Structure 1
Amino acid sequence: MDVPVTDPRKTTAPADPTAQNTDQNTDQPSVRSVAKSRRAALIGALFLMATSAIGPGFITQTATFTAQMGAAFAFGILASILIDFAVQLNIWRMITVSGKRAPELANLAIPGSGFVLAFLVILGGLVFNIGNIAGAGLGLNVLTGLDAKIGGLLSALFAVAIFLAKRAGAVVDRVVVIAGLVMIVLTVIVAFISQPPIGDALRQTVLPDEINFATITTIVGGTVGGYITYAGAHRLLASGTAGVEHVKEVSRAAFNGILVTGIMRYVLFLAILGVVASGVVIDTTGAAANPAAQAFQAAAGEFGLRVFGAIFWIAAITSIIGAAYTSVSFLPVFSKKIVGRTADLATIAFIVVSLAVYLLIGTAPATLMVFVGGFNGLILPIGLTIFMYIGWFRGDLMNGYRYPKWLLIIGTLATLLTWYMAVMAVGPIFALLTL
């Protein structure tokens, strides 16, 4: 999937290999083609980040915490969105301006730190992907009645087929954009049907009745932490969108991606809140509990249950793609040979390993999905600390770009906040493994 990254110090667009560059007239289609390709890559990166951020784990976490906290969980959603802005605007800009993937850039700034970051992200991505495949199987089970393990197998094979395509990057871009739009529309329909108490939700978004740091850390980890932080930026590098000259379009894409993700998070929360506020009791503790499915069925009956199946499968399949692609994009720090078609094959192997573990352990319970989000929330401040160090003290890695101080300030505040939340939440998060 990866293509060579253009030299960030060059301001000329990469040549179109299909163009007959014999005169200025034939050069024009090449420019249009490059511009169109870059726009597609930006939109693809936007939706890859957005759909990766809203996987089956996040949906399960949202249903679980909304059932437990009610409208007060709106504050957790807001916190995740604000942290997302501070994280993604910095990470996307640093990676694309430098023209280097996260672990490579980290190693240049602090020798050895890139290897540690890569190990943690790949480990978190692998655990996440097991849950993603389980979620895909569960989604197909609800949607079609197909056995969950068979559904997980078919979903994983679908993801493998995407990476077998000759132009896998372009296929990934199209799949995540279409799937993301469908998921948003279906969730809005259920939110409209469930009729949530919007006034109370808006009030508690800024003035919550309770604040739970373990909950916020888990939801932040499930939608910002781990591989999700780097998904969009690494996709842009693979498409050749790197360099100081692309700062504005990269920042715009990051902002729009966070906006899309934020809207989707809040709409999903409202859909489930409407059910909880109506007095329906949602089981969040049983071994076979599926809080989100219960909420959607309570909101819209059989139709709601089928919609949940569709949303859950779409969220899962796009997250399988995002987790596998982004995790493998960290492997070149260990071996420079893992590029191009070799990277595609490594991505397929990553999916197959995740599938094998899923088939051996069975469907992941809701508790596992919540734990994985919390685990990635613990990884998040480690990566952020490295990148804030780069921003403040290693401007020489930015190819002459003068990094905005205001962006570093909000990034640093987000880093301190995620460290505080991680320390406060580490005990409760690992306690989930004993449930």
Structure 2
Amino acid sequence: MSDTPPTSPSAAKAALRGSFMAAIFLMATSAIGPGFITQTATFTAKLGASFAFAILASILIDFVVQLNIWRITALTGRRASETANMAIPGAGYLLAVLVIIGGLAFNVGNIAGAGLGLNAMLGLDPKIGGGLSALLAIAIFLSKRAGLLLDQMIIGLGVVMILLTVFVAVVSNPPVGEALRQAILPDTIDFATITTIVGGTVGGYITYSGAHRLLDKGLTGEHNLAAVSRAALTGIAVTGLMRFVLFLAILGVVASGVTLDLSSQAANPAAQAFAAAAGDWGMRVFGLVLWAAAITSVIGAAYTSVSFLTVFRPMDDRARNIATVIFITVSLVVYLSLGTAPAAILVFVGGFNGLILPIGLTIFTYVGFARADLMGGHRYNRPLLILSAIVCALTWYMGFKSIGPIFAFLGA
């Protein structure tokens, strides 16, 4: 899904700025899908202000993961699976299979989230709303201007999500001071929670969404490295802001004494929180936020997952768009056959993606340390690599510690 290069210097500058904004918001909106919204409401109801520590941990991990993967991807000029195969033969195929499986599972939840969003906003049947949302995403990829439509929709809906969630956070009047204290000194630390929230915001396909979008825009090489780093940092700031604001919006409701229902399969704790904060209008705001998060995540999951298929066979833009349409269609068929994905599934898939994260990060850390030949001879920034190695070890440890609790949560 590449775009025709502009002809004038001013147009080229504007196109470059737009390319970085598109990558930033593709990463940000992919990281803030219906799964993350459900996870945030579920864990805030369980842990209260202590969940701030998990949010902060996810932002710090996100900083290291995204910055390194965006930079190394720009230096190699190749998609993650191709880089992995060249670094460790066969590793790219494994990474591609895991990312595609995780992306497909997440996309079923994303379509379900879109259906629930339109149900809350307009009263539509969730299956009809999910089907219409999937058809909208398919129409974007079938369009001759797919790249431009993708960028404009991702940026526009990303801004809407942030503004509406800030409004609800102000209305719910959360205990900000207590949240900030527990972000540093939490009363409770839960590794399964951290792994799940990290998986839902930077695990699986999400890690590579913005980096692969920059590749399609041709923004590679050492001369673009500084700009790529700024874009990655901006993207992390946007996602971090949205995560914390959403947490505060729900914390304000929980701290006021409202008990969110987490017991039934049909429970929608995030919807309950928005409704408690702002009544019927709050429910409609929640619907729009959830739909925007879901439809952008449908697009992001499909786009990024299909970008991994190129490791098995080369694909031009048209072939990739067709494959993306098929990917969304399969997700829709699975969703319609299962019905609305319960909250437990959305939380579990976040945990699964969190287990995928250390595999890809290990490969990229190895490339940074030992495979300068894949980066055009560039000697990669050592402090960033050391941070990457630390986070890599941490994500392996968290994944190991949380395997049991994640599967127990699914069975609960």
Same fold per superposition (TM over 0.5): yes
CA contact (8 A) 1:220 1:373 kept: yes
5 Å matches for 1:271-420? Answer: 271-336=249-314, 338-420=315-397
User: What does the per-residue CA deviation read over 1:133-164, in whole Å, with 9 as the maximum and x for residues that have no partner?
Assistant: 00000000010000000000000001011111
The alpha carbon displacement at 1:285 in A equals 2.2
The alpha carbon displacement at 1:100 in A equals 0.4
CA gap of 1:2–1:113, structure 2 versus 1, over 3 A, is farther
The alpha carbon displacement at 1:283 in A equals 0.8
User: What does the per-residue CA deviation read over 1:266-288, in whole Å, with 9 as the maximum and x for residues that have no partner?
Assistant: 00000000000000000112110
User: What does the per-residue CA deviation read over 1:291-327, in whole Å, with 9 as the maximum and x for residues that have no partner?
Assistant: 0000000111111111100000000000000000000
5 Å matches for 1:29-40? Answer: 29=8, 31-40=9-18
Opposite residue 98 of structure 1, the aligned amino acid is: T
Instruction: List, as ranges, runs of 4+ consecutive aligned residues in structure 1 with deviation greater than 3 Å.
Output: none
Give the equivalent residue in structure 2 for 1:107. 85
The alpha carbon displacement at 1:2 in A equals 4.2
Cα RMSD for the two superposed structures: 1.0
Give the equivalent residue in structure 2 for 1:424. 401
Opposite residue 288 of structure 2, the aligned amino acid is: A
Give the equivalent residue in structure 2 for 1:9. none
Aligned match of 2:166 in 179, 182, 188? 188
Distance 1:400 1:385 in 2: 20
Q: Tell me which structure has the larger Cα radius of gyration.
A: 1
* Aligned residues between the structures: 412
Distance 2:179 2:330 in 1: 41
The alpha carbon displacement at 1:169 in A equals 1.4
Aligned match of 2:94 in 103, 116, 136? 116
User: What does the per-residue CA deviation read over 1:204-240, in whole Å, with 9 as the maximum and x for residues that have no partner?
Assistant: 0000000000000000000000000000000000011
SS at match of 1:131: helix
The alpha carbon displacement at 1:434 in A equals 1.9
Gaps of at least 5 residues in structure 2 are none
TM-score (normalizing by structure 1): 0.93
The alpha carbon displacement at 1:130 in A equals 0.2
CA contact (8 A) 1:2 1:339 kept: no
Opposite residue 35 of structure 2, the aligned amino acid is: G
Distance 2:14 2:221 in 1: 18
Opposite residue 408 of structure 1, the aligned amino acid is: L
The alpha carbon displacement at 1:430 in A equals 1.5
TM-score (normalizing by structure 2): 0.99
5 Å matches for 1:90-101? Answer: 90-101=68-79
SS at match of 1:158: helix
Opposite residue 274 of structure 2, the aligned amino acid is: F
Give the equivalent residue in structure 1 for 2:226. 248
Identity %: 65
SS at match of 1:284: coil
